[in-house]
């Protein structure tokens, strides 16, 4: 089994993050630092360590859905000592977010220690739909909505086709439902900026078939067995 996949299955981090740990020399196999990305381990014979501590697959896998409030970051460490989403959840396992929501975005966030599932849900080729409700400035004309839906040039990439549906107009602003299948850094905010209608508020309300339902801001719950099975089939 490849080292990064084994680390993900042990709940150390997502597969992508595990690759960063390997490159930075934080992973040892049988007391030897390994920086080779394709390194293969035998889970039954090799001793794998992260930051000097052995890791194993014995930890129970957990799957959590959180309604993220504003002011919390989705990284596990921060040089500015800001509040983290993991501060809101009291479980014995070391969990990490599936993808990211920026500090000022609220809504649905999955956290788990299943690194393999995290990889599947965040990799663009699996095209998991993410639905947001956004309040933006002004009222976009049809041409701008069409540009949003067909693809926008942002920085060094062009966005994939998206969905943009106006829910209602709120005075001078617009409430819209936006659906994307990517998850680039601050992507929806950048897309709205690109059509001249910056985001005022942004909330993720669904990821695939998973929805927030009645969870209040800051509340969390374990995913049901059916929800876990659904995610693993994606």
In total, how many domains does the chain have?
Answer: 3
Clarify whether residues 120 and 214 are in a common domain: yes
DSSP E strand stretches across the chain: 27-29, 32-33, 48-50, 53-54, 63-68, 96-97, 106-112, 130-137, 153-154, 157-158, 163-170, 173-180, 199-207, 210-211, 220-222
Clarify whether residues 116 and 215 are in a common domain: yes
Clarify whether residues 142 and 30 are in a common domain: no
What is the pLDDT averaged over residues 20-28?
Answer: 93
Residue numbers of the domain that contains 171:
129-207
CATH number at residue 31: 3.10.290.10
Clarify whether residues 15 and 109 are in a common domain: no
Clarify whether residues 115 and 226 are in a common domain: yes
Nearest C-alpha neighbor of 7 from the set 19, 86, 228: 19
pLDDT higher than 80, residue 127: no
Clarify whether residues 30 and 69 are in a common domain: no
Clarify whether residues 136 and 202 are in a common domain: yes
Q: What does pLDDT average to over the chain?
A: 91
Clarify whether residues 97 and 120 are in a common domain: yes
Clarify whether residues 31 and 146 are in a common domain: no
**With bands split at pLDDT 50, 70 and 90, how would you rate the model's confidence at 188?**
very high
CATH number at residue 101: 3.30.70.580
**Whether 80 contacts 33, CB under 8 Å:** no
User: Would you please indicate which residues are annotated as catalytic (active-site) residues?
Assistant: 102
pLDDT one-digit tens code per residue, 39-81:
999 887 788 988 888 787 766 889 999 999 999 999 877 778 8
Instruction: Tell the burial category of 184 from Cβ atoms under 10 Å away from its Cβ (0-12, 13-18, 19+).
Output: middle
pTM, to two decimals: 0.78
The predicted pLDDT at position 124 comes to 67
CATH number at residue 182: 3.30.70.1560
The predicted pLDDT at position 206 comes to 96
The predicted pLDDT at position 58 comes to 62
pLDDT higher than 70, residue 230: yes
pLDDT one-digit tens code per residue, 137-168:
999 999 999 999 999 999 889 999 999 999 99
Clarify whether residues 114 and 219 are in a common domain: yes
pLDDT higher than 80, residue 99: yes
Clarify whether residues 158 and 196 are in a common domain: yes
Clarify whether residues 136 and 167 are in a common domain: yes
């Amino acid at each position: 089994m490849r080292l990064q996949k084994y680390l993900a299955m042990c709940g150390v981090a997502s597969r992508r993050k595990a690759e960063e740990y390997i490159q930075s020399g934080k992973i040892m196999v049988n007391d030897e630092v390994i920086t080779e990305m394709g390194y293969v381990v035998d889970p039954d014979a090799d001793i794998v360590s992260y930051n000097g501590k052995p890791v194993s697959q014995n930890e129970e896998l957990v799957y959590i859905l959180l309604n993220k409030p504003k002011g919390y970051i989705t990284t596990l460490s921060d040089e500015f000592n800001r509040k983290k989403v993991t501060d809101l959840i009291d479980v014995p396992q070391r969990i990490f977010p599936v993808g990211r929501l920026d500090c000022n975005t609220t809504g649905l966030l999955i956290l788990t220690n299943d690194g393999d599932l995290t990889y599947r849900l965040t990799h663009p080729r699996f095209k998991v739909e993410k639905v947001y409700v956004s309040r933006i400035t002004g009222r976009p004309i049809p041409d701008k909505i069409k540009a949003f839906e067909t693809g926008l040039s942002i920085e060094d990439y062009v966005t994939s086709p998206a969905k943009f549906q106006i829910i209602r107009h709120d005075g001078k602003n617009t409430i819209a439902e936006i659906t994307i299948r990517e998850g680039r850094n601050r992507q929806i905010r950048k897309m709205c900026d690109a059509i001249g209608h910056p985001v005022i508020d942004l909330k993720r309300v669904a990821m695939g078939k998973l929805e927030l339902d009645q969870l209040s801001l800051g509340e969390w719950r374990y995913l049901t067995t059916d929800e876990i099975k659904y995610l693993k089939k994606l």
